[in-house]
Structure 1
């Protein structure tokens, strides 16, 4: 019935189990990045692959009335998080911009309304982690760097897709709120989240991507300073001096550094440094 499983063996066998909304939203966005840089038949194939991701999301039953709307994290229906919903909003907005199909726009509007009614914390100007549990649900108010970076990026896409410049100001407001609440001034980096003050390449690094994209949108070089400081801190704390790979987690000063390395962290740091190299 479509959709991507979370994992498989290297030979492609063994795929199964739950499917995750964030995996499928991000996969669709990656297809669209490939669409942006290709031509001809291949370009159309990438667009069609992104649309298949979106159409699975629309028809998989993971958006329902529990907690007033929103996508579940996965087919296991454990919780409804900000990051999954915001990634799907990005995908629908980009597809609306490319195709003009209004059902993508309508889905994006529904997600945005739900996020702002259920997940927005007016005290900090940021979006909370997730809702789970019975009844009206329990809100988990931890504030994650990558959740809010994804929301910031979604609003930059909204600005272009909907031709609404007010969303640049909304993205800038999230950026300023991130730099007030999620930036550690002592170590010059973004923390994992407000109840787990550690550093991790992908999920803290996402803050740098958001700041680079803000700079690309408004030309304010202050955003690049945050992006570079965060990347430099990750390199200092989490990069192996021998293999040059990145460890998964550590305290802000390097204490308790994990010994394992994950593919997502290597890929994300490669991506971030390629993005920043255009400007620094």
Structure 2
């Protein structure tokens, strides 16, 4: 039996579960369905030597990495072996992969560090990657990289509007954002998200019930969210237009007001103001 992390769907109304038993049952059924699907997945496995060069891959890893590496990075299947694994990932993903690979254990007796997990966005795919150090008598001898392709669980085919198609078919839009919390994957339904706030390479996802930290950047999420529903109104902020309650003038600028549970009003940059007004028919 293949080991896999637990996966759950965020509950849109944790306080009212007792008063809405059918909804709670539906949420549990969805979580069980996702868990069942995940357990059926064959994980991609990549073996790395001590210098993080690829020494072997299973068929799943080849099937996922080759379509990403060959057309966009110019790396053929034959060239994948013996190269630094970072070269098989798009430049925007390399810093995160390097962080995973560079994780070191402070435990005594040469014990390996606990496996580290992270979500990675590669062209049209959404992967959860875990890296575990491999230790022999002489110390660390390499790493084992294991990933689960969550694309089918977290995305829907793009309808062709808003962005150009890339790759072999239309780019997929995110329908649920996977976040890793307490050794579980939580799928946050995008329709429950009121706003997203960028913090460097990370993004805080805000719903009316909770806040989640995603290691996917705001720019990555912007490219995968439905442009008919989400708008980047500021360098650090994306808002769900369905939750906007008011456009407020402040000094020389504007703020987007949202329900109180979603936090303070969000600033609107001058460059984005026209697009925001246009979306609400104000120009």
TM interval, short-chain normalised: under 0.3
The structure whose Rg is larger is 2
TM-score by length of 1: 0.27
Give the structure with the larger helix fraction.
1
TM-score by length of 2: 0.27
Give the structure with the larger strand fraction.
2
